[in-house]
Structure 1
């Protein structure tokens, strides 16, 4: 498929309503994938207006900025708890910190037991596998099974939801006939899947990037977080479908054709960011916003939560582990289209 790589074109296509996430020519899907698509077909990430507009508006009623901001102290406390458990010898920071923190935060936000985090993580990883290249028939079966098990789990949670959790608020919206049960379920699964995987990769990439730039110990500010997101984002490619026959940026697209948007390339466009390969914490706010969270009507719903998690997690980690150092060359996982490390061996002693 054709790829857009510069900041201006990627930004324009993200906002161009002639292109969307929903395939206007849906493919035939094999029966063994049915349970996966029974969830994904109701995910706002894959929908276009008017259904996307209705879903997003209702979810935003529950996913408020006040609710997100209130999680700050909890995220900091959780980061301290994880640091307290660090071993004295070198260890994998992804397993010890970057992976458990986001999934436990999402569990608290939804209002499900933190003890269930390992199951949530396993389901999330299996479902995300449907979007990886080189997936096998076994991967597809595993994704469908995970979707069915996740749905069954949520059905149980819906019977007696935690009163202050996001699930309870979404069920209240559903009771007003503004969400269907399938949409409520798909939204909960989307919040976990999208809110976990990308944050794990961003934390790992961010720590590795700061250490490589000899900037570990710099003050962790919102501007530094923005540079983490620009410099080495967790998602290098997002795609759009042409919703109609269209000419755009010198290319002819037939209805249903795809175009790839290279988010990370746009984030390193030398016409927009001076010395783009360098990690420069004070680049913001003067520099234009990166496209790591997308743009337009599909701009990431969880961006405020992701920014808060990164700010608190990196701040606590830097305060508690000022001598942290990477002890073996970080190696990126051979995955597509996410972009993150296989492991990050560090020493904090």
Structure 2
């Protein structure tokens, strides 16, 4: 279905001419609502060289999906046959940060990526994730109990943020008492991925990397002496079985899992609550109605992931010269900026893409969302993220049926990692009879 973008909805910094896009990612009119820009880009052809990013912006669903799976592209241009990056030219004040990044799955290509991902895949098998459901529900109920008497509450701080960090920390094998430190380290490190980051942000990220790595080294040594039923213990076992994993790789994997395993879920819970409350106010249907059956709940969750996902940008690099449909050519080493959220709003893939339709994914022929990436770098924690989102939304709306927005929402100045600053709501009457007990 064709659509035409209203020019007045576009940011003042937006220029799209002759296949070149000029747009400041820190323009508030953009990061508060990037979707008109995505629509204009798709209408123009779906690709444009984005000067501010230094790469080819790709917005079409078909192109984004195909490039994610195309082995002519990689997350890095490897510096050696092992598929590792070359960070030797990074500045000294980021030494600790890039020491972790050099072993991160997101910065590796085969064969090293293949070896490390295979080890992690064992921890994320479906039966292990499904066993977490009662624990996730119990954490959700406990957090709801804590704000039940409040007239208004910031759901980001009180619910969306603490829930996933507690879940992923327990899965990994980290103490719940460390949650505040884990959140702080994660926030500072993730800020490194913000376009136009400041020098202060770089120093803060490096300190966080030092502190996080030192903390994990102590945890790993404790787990060596007293293994438990957690991911760190399983990875330690892999480390000593034929040299499949060394300590630096283990530390980097845990850092990545913690950062990726809660940051995106925090934003998706917040974005999902906002989306459903706005839909409810217009449709006149109770939010809890979306979770009346398992198929409806799964469809609603998938639609929130399509409509307003947390991850908007995923970068890849051409490993060989590539010609894309439409005659666009890329030399080896040139970057593509895959606009995942734009692909999710492509009218060629989804009818009425700018409308939240909770039942959309009841139709099994609906296109797969790009929110978790694709190919060998597809998000390994996607099943856990979907489960957390479903339970978090279901418990919230079932126990707080009168929940509604108490203030205008605004997004953080972090366009590529799209999430709300705060989400002020009035909870109304809270059902004090949860089905689950705190763990």
TM-score range for the pair, normalised by the shorter chain length: over 0.9
C-alpha deviations, 1:180-214, integer Å up to 9, x for none? 11111111000000011100110000000001111
Decide which of 333, 340, 344 is 1:263's aligned counterpart.
Answer: 340
Aligned pair 1:159/2:221, yes or no? yes
| Structure 2 counterpart SS, 1:281 | coil
Aligned pair 1:121/2:183, yes or no? yes
Stretch deviating more after TM superposition (183-192 or 53-62): 53-62
C-alpha deviations, 1:140-170, integer Å up to 9, x for none? 1111111111111111111222501111011
Counterpart of 1:338? 417
Question: TM-score, normalized by length of structure 2?
Answer: 0.78
- Offset at residue 289 of structure 1 (A): 1.0
Task: Say whether the 8 Å CA contact 1:24–1:256 is kept in structure 2.
Answer: no
- Offset at residue 232 of structure 1 (A): 0.3
In structure 2, stretches of 5+ residues that fail to align are 1-54, 80-85, 292-296, 429-439
Task: Say whether the 8 Å CA contact 1:24–1:255 is kept in structure 2.
Answer: no
- Offset at residue 63 of structure 1 (A): 2.6
C-alpha deviations, 1:214-234, integer Å up to 9, x for none? 152223211111111001000
Greater RCO, CA 8 A, separation 6+: 1
| Structure 1 counterpart SS, 2:289 | coil
Counterpart of 2:290? 219
C-alpha deviations, 1:83-138, integer Å up to 9, x for none? 00014211211000000001011111011110100001111011101111221111
User: Moved runs in structure 1, 4+ residues, more than 4 A?
Assistant: 24-27
| Structure 2 counterpart SS, 1:88 | coil
| Structure 2 counterpart SS, 1:274 | coil
In structure 1, stretches of 5+ residues that fail to align are none
| Structure 1 counterpart SS, 2:290 | coil
Aligned-pair RMSD on alpha carbons?
1.3
- Offset at residue 24 of structure 1 (A): 4.3
Question: TM-score, normalized by length of structure 1?
Answer: 0.97
The CA distance in 1 between the partners of 2:256 and 2:78, in whole Å, is 22
Counterpart of 1:12? 66
Counterpart of 1:291? 370
The CA distance in 1 between the partners of 2:415 and 2:100, in whole Å, is 22
Decide which of 162, 178, 184 is 2:244's aligned counterpart.
Answer: 178
Counterpart of 1:311? 390
Counterpart of 2:3? none
Counterpart of 1:206? 272
> Aligned residue pairs: how many?
349
Task: Say whether the 8 Å CA contact 1:24–1:241 is kept in structure 2.
Answer: no
- Offset at residue 245 of structure 1 (A): 2.2
Aligned pair 1:60/2:139, yes or no? no
Rg (Cα) greater in structure: 2
Q: After the TM superposition, which residues 238-277 of structure 1 pair with which residues of structure 2 at under 5 Å, given as runs?
A: 238-249=314-325, 250-277=327-354
Task: Say whether the 8 Å CA contact 2:136–2:388 is kept in structure 1.
Answer: yes
Decide which of 322, 331, 338 is 2:401's aligned counterpart.
Answer: 322
